[in-house]
Amino acid sequence: MNLPQVVFDYLGAINSVAKPNAFLALDEQGYIQSVGGNVAVFDVSTAAVGQLALEQYAHLEGLLTRDNEPLIIRNTQLKPGQWVDLHLFSAKELRWVVYVDNTQSAALLQAEQQQRLEEDLLVELHKRTG
Between 19 and 74, whose beta carbon lies closer to other proteins?
Answer: 74
Q: Is the CA virtual torsion 103, 59, 62, 6 positive or negative?
A: positive
Nearest CA to 39 out of 82, 8, 73 is that of 82
**Residue 100 C-beta-side C-alpha neighbours within 13 Å:** 21
When binding is defined by CB under 8 A, the residue of 76, 89, 93, 100 that contacts other proteins is 76
Q: How far is the CB of 5 from other proteins (least distance, A)?
A: 26
When binding is defined by CB under 8 A, the residue of 83, 89, 96, 99 that contacts other proteins is 83
118 binds other proteins (CB under 8 A): yes
Contact indicator for 99, 39 with CB cutoff of 8 Å: yes
Which of these segments, 2-10, 29-37, 61-69, 89-97, binds other proteins (CB under 8 A)? Answer: 61-69
Name the H helices within the chain.
5-13, 53-56, 103-129
Report the alpha-carbon distance of residue 75 to residue 90 in Å, rounded.
21
121 binds other proteins (CB under 8 A): yes
99 binds other proteins (CB under 8 A): no
The site for other proteins (CB under 8 A) is made up of 54, 58-59, 61-65, 71-78, 83, 106, 109-110, 113-114, 116-118, 120-121, 124, 128
